[in-house]
Structure 1
């Protein structure tokens, strides 16, 4: 599967993306059809297809937009923190906690999307997996001062993703704070 549709970002296209984004996050990608999206956006199916070409392209744009918003949110938190590795690491976990509180009551959109889209040939797959690989790269950079940056980063990633799932499921409301404290301990022990 590949998409080649170039989206022209008209007001209607943004309206469709906004409607689809809310529906995909709340109900799931496969559970929402183009009829529902068009109705929610107040457009015809033809308009939806004219703007996006396919539901797959709309899914790609939804995940791309969410990822872009997440990166901007995270970067603002990293920029506001001290450049010390522990402060940067705490900023990652605190940003994730705050993002989840504001925009993530259903858990991580990428993890949720991966539950529905695990085919590596799907055009959204690189965005889904790419976000997690980018996080691993960031954690590796933060762990650069340790004796084994890659190994430490892998542990930090597991703590982060475990907190995302635990919090997203409502299993542990303090998951991000607990994981942050454990991550800081992992980092300190490796320096």
Structure 2
């Protein structure tokens, strides 16, 4: 009998294994052997697709970045032309993106602790995530009529980071921890305050 994971191409199984293990245990703490076992591939298969572990880390973050961006794009599409809803769409996207049982925290913030060398192949995806958040939140804050779009964008980003941290705390708590922060509500209050 063929296992369900075996039907996926080897490259996808490697990325799935890397995502699960890197996010759960950290990049440095996850050895290539653990990824190979989880993906059920031979070492030659890994090196046929990636130049090494660093390039696998980069591909994992690239795939995650592309999924996050697509999720946020979908959330923006659902908002129509409502500038306030569009500025708050980051919270809607986060709710969709992290709706799984094991969802917690931010893969990019976790990876940024370990990938600090700008020459590392994964570094560009850490920068891309930061750039997407900064640029998009500022543009959305401006479209929402903020008197200081940079300040509103920074506040929305702080709330977004708080929402990620709250998810992590709930994921590691025995009873689920405290209720999630009402970040979308706080964001709406911030938008109104920055327009006043």
Shorter-chain TM-score tier: 0.7 to 0.9
The ranges of structure 1 where at least 4 consecutive aligned residues each deviate by more than 3 angstroms after the TM superposition are none
Distance 1:106 1:84 in 2: 29
Distance 1:104 1:93 in 2: 18
Corresponding residue of 1:31: 29
Aligned-pair distance for 1:79?
Answer: 0.2
Secondary structure (helix, strand or coil) at the match of 1:53 reads coil
Note if 1:190 corresponds to 2:194: yes
Q: Residue by residue, what CA displacement relative to the aligned partner does 1:102-134 show, whole Å, maximum 9, x if unpaired?
A: 276231111111122222222212211321221
Corresponding residue of 2:44: 46
CA contact (8 A) 1:107 1:165 kept: yes
CA contact (8 A) 2:18 2:60 kept: yes
**Quick one: structure 1 residues 161 and 68, their matched pair in 2 at CA, closer, same or farther if it must change by over 3 Å?**
same
Corresponding residue of 2:68: 70
Corresponding residue of 1:4: none
Aligned residues: 180
The two structures have a TM-score, normalised by structure 2, of 0.84
Aligned-pair distance for 1:186?
Answer: 1.1
Distance 1:104 1:161 in 2: 18
The two structures have a TM-score, normalised by structure 1, of 0.86
Q: How does 1:32-181 map to 2 (within 5 A)?
A: 32-102=30-100, 105-144=103-142, 145-170=145-170, 172-175=178-181, 178-181=182-185
CA contact (8 A) 2:104 2:164 kept: no
